[in-house]
Amino acid sequence: MPKIAVSGKGGVGKTSFASLLAYVLTEQGNRVYAIDADPNATLAQALGFPPELAAQVTPIIEMDDLIEERTGARPGESGRMFKLNPRVDDIPERFSVEYRNIRLLQMGTVRGAGAGCICPENAMLKMLVTHLLLREKEAVILDMVAGMEHMGRATAGAVDAMFMVVEPGARSIQTAKDITRLARDLGIGKLWAVGNKVRNERDEAFIRSSLTDLPVVGMLPYTERAIEADMSGQALYDLAPEMVARVREIVARVLP
Ligand SMILES: Nc1ncnc2c1ncn2[C@@H]1O[C@H](COP(=O)(O)OP(=O)(O)OP(=O)(O)O)[C@@H](O)[C@H]1O
Ligand SMILES: [Mg+2]
């Protein structure tokens, strides 16, 4: 099972899709690590984690002492020597919470890191994602920050597949193209697009004709149920079977 990132423009449905993908992968007996890589963390809600459980997650980036212990430098410190391959094998178990076979981790906010920065916290994040690949019958899904910010870049270097979520609109298409270029430069082998909030054939045709350079592996319908799930805090997976069915088809197509 590859490590999968979900990217795209702001608000297109990255978190929604990542949450559905996580549940669909558990249907096949996988244990899923769902990593919320967005500082503005909302994946727990989309997954329908009970709020008191979600509150127990410690964002990895806030563990200054742990990062210092493992890398030899404190977060935010530059110019000091630090280990590029810190030990991270115990982190998934210690700092995540589990619900319905999904282990949730939050990365938190990287402070003061410029583009391309190699700092202790980034080394830790990248190692964490890399390490998670090594286990069997496990899947890793990263819900990325909108666009392609530096932290995304550092972590994206450790994933091997990426879904670009687009909606019917030229702006999300442009963002998907920009991210795709960057992802190709990073050597991410498998890049797919998924249309979301698709209302009719015209929407679908628009997406397909705009993304000629990227395989479009599925379309998720626009549905009021997504909005209801967002308001109620229930798992989108439980409320929107019409979306779940499409995600199952996508998984069967690209992650057999
Ligand atoms: N298929 C859909 N039909 C209707 N509404 C949807 C659909 N998918 C997502 N939404 C709604 O769009 C909004 C944004 O969705 P979501 O949070 O998944 O996007 P995002 O790309 O993760 O956003 P951000 O860039 O802020 O992280 C939410 O209110 C969600 O309920
Ligand atoms: Mg999101």
CATH code assigned at 138 = 3.40.50.300
C-alpha to C-alpha distance for 200 and 183, rounded to whole angstroms:
30
Residue 51 · residue 98 · CB < 8 Å: no
Q: State the total domains in the chain.
A: 1
Q: Do the domain assignments include residue 34?
A: yes
Q: Do the domain assignments include residue 22?
A: yes
The answer to whether residue 148 scores a pLDDT higher than 60 is yes
Q: Do the domain assignments include residue 116?
A: no
CB proximity list for 4: less than 8 A, separation 6 or greater:
21, 139, 140, 141, 142, 159, 160, 161, 162, 163, 255
Helix ranges (H only) for 34-119 are: 43-46, 51-54, 64-71, 91-95
The answer to whether residue 110 scores a pLDDT higher than 90 is no
Q: Do the domain assignments include residue 216?
A: yes
Q: Which domain holds residue 212?
A: 3-60+99-109+134-254
C-alpha to C-alpha distance for 217 and 51, rounded to whole angstroms:
33
Distance 7 CA to ligand 2 centre (A): 9
Ligand 1 binding pocket, CB closer than 6 Å: 8, 10-16, 38, 42, 146, 196-197, 220, 222-223, 226-227, 230, 243
Residue at token pair 């410029």: 114
CB proximity list for 186: less than 8 A, separation 6 or greater:
153, 156, 157
Output the average pLDDT for the chain: 86
Tell me which of 12 and 125 has the higher pLDDT. Answer: 12
* Residue percentage of the chain with pLDDT more than 90: 55
Atom of ligand 1 nearest to the CA of 230: 31
Averaged pLDDT, 160-183: 94
* Residue percentage of the chain with pLDDT more than 70: 84
